[in-house]
Structure 1
């Protein structure tokens, strides 16, 4: 399970959200940090100064703790 402050890496190229243009895809291997986790278990990750929330642009199996 993830915790705030965990460093993470994307395991696949992230392009899945309908509003996420392909030219802004996050390449596999990109590094980020878990910044917060809500009471519902939703988490926010910062990758390259952008915020991504679980269920919108990626799922838990698309990132890993490093």
Structure 2
């Protein structure tokens, strides 16, 4: 099953830890994700949702690498 780019609708997801909003990611294309920190500053554009979430987590820790 292929995804027609004309049928794609962007999805916006907020990321929380308890009640603390860590940031959000926006699915901009079938395999593209833009990540934003808690102040809505762009963290980057990613091919995987997991990488976008890792960037949000790293921004909470002051930008240190994940892992």
TM-score, normalization: structure 2? Answer: 0.36
TM-score, normalization: structure 1? Answer: 0.37
Q: Which has the higher contact order (CA 8 A, sep 6+)?
A: 1
Higher strand fraction (1 or 2)? 2
- Determine which structure has more spread, i.e. the larger CA radius of gyration: 2
Higher helix fraction (1 or 2)? 2
